[in-house]
Structure 1
Amino acid sequence: MFNKLFLILALFSISAQSLANDPLSGNKHIYLIDIKGNELMIGDVRFSTAGDKTHYDIHLNHSLFKDFFLSMKEMKCLEGPELWCHLPYPYMTPREVSQKDLSWLAHDLLFMYKKKADFGANFYNGIYYQLSLNDGVITGIAQAVDLNLLASAPEDQTSAPITQAELDNVEENLRWLPKLEIK
């Protein structure tokens, strides 16, 4: 009896540990990382699996963001050397990810940066975090993207519209929050 109970507890412990180490399962924290390496936890993402699909829900900590009215639109922005405004993807998505495709998650983590002295919002200054899995952590490198391309809904709403073709490198030393981690 004791051996059976020990075996069951050991299997449960191994199973729980492997779930905790899986970057696409359970609850994870979302961090933006500044140019000095400081982490700012901005929210959480919850991954859940149904069949062969992994879904996610994002919850940002809006108490960290200030409300700004830019170009006739209310925006939630982080305030630092630049304003870093979150721009939720405006159309329906499947909210699905896989080990090979994190693009929908990246679409829900779009930002626009703005120098404090600049007037209004310039959607040309979009930030798309190119996400990948590295040693059990989802990491993102800021890429420049013109978010004006989202002004109208894409014809094919089953594929993420922002692809490598729309992205340009960002000079990491010039942007306040060039990296993202989900762990």
Structure 2
Amino acid sequence: MRFQVCLFAAFLAGWPAVVSAAELDGTKTIFANTRDKQRIPLGTVRFSPRGGGVSSFEISMDHARFADYFLSMKEFKCLDGKVEIVCHVPYPYSNPRTVSAKDMSWLEHDLLFLFKRPGEFGASMRNGLYFRLEPDERGWVGSPQAIDLNYISAPPDAADVAPYDPATRDDVAPGERWIESLLIE
């Protein structure tokens, strides 16, 4: 029996730590990891516990890191990559701005982006990026998923339900996008 307990403990030690409610407290930095091995600080997110494992959050993007682009009759804050320009698209509607260790969807919605090639004119809202956040040993890592930003061109029927559910997102192949992941640490 003692051998089995040791084996089970060793098995669990290899698993990444699970995010606790306590980790959804304080200010964390948001980084973009690019395929050309850059680690770009994008801004911060401040978590404030509200009880019951829920925290509110507030994002503050560092606009000095972004270039101004006027695309498709709208101003965007964008990162210039050699192979892609990636623009932040803040979720345009009111939302609860809350998260829990089991549900980071509203934070994911405030970290929407679109991409375009440097030579392309305008922006295609079909080229949206959603970063699905998962806990890891240092915080959260967001893997890119493809979305159509036209889906949120009108307010959702229910303001308290995050519109981009798994059925509206497609995984992106590794190395396909310039920003390979977002990190929150």
Shorter-chain TM-score above 0.5: yes
Match of 2:24 in 1: 24
Query: What is aligned with 2:148?
Result: 146
CA deviation map 1:20-78 (0-9, x unaligned): x9431111000010014331111001101123331110000000111111000011101
CA contact (8 A) 1:35 1:172 kept: no
Hey, what does 2:127 align to over in structure 1? Answer: 125
Decide which of 151, 158, 161 is 1:159's aligned counterpart: 161
Aligned residue type for 1:80: G
1:178 deviation in Å? 1.6
Pairwise CA RMSD of aligned residues?
Answer: 1.3
TM-score by length of 1: 0.85
Cα distance in 2, alignment partners of residues 128 and 76 from structure 1: 16
For residues 66-98 of structure 1, give each alpha carbon's deviation from its aligned partner in whole angstroms, at most 9, with x where no partner exists: 111100001110111211000000000111000
TM-score (norm 2): 0.85
Counterparts of residues 71-110 of structure 1 (less than 5 Å) = 71-81=72-82, 82-110=84-112
CA distance in 2, matches of 1:95, 1:34: 27
Match of 1:173 in 2: 175
Q: Output the amino acid matched with 1:180.
A: L
Does residue 55 (structure 1) correspond to residue 56 (structure 2)? The answer is yes
**AA paired with 2:130?**
Y
For the residue of structure 1 that corresponds to 2:150, the secondary structure is helix
Partners of 2:38 and 2:73 in 1: CA distance: 32
Give structure 2 stretches of 5+ with no counterpart. 1-20
Unaligned runs of 5+ in 1: 1-20
Which structure: greater helix fraction?
1
The match for 1:34 is 34
Tell me what 1:12 maps to: none
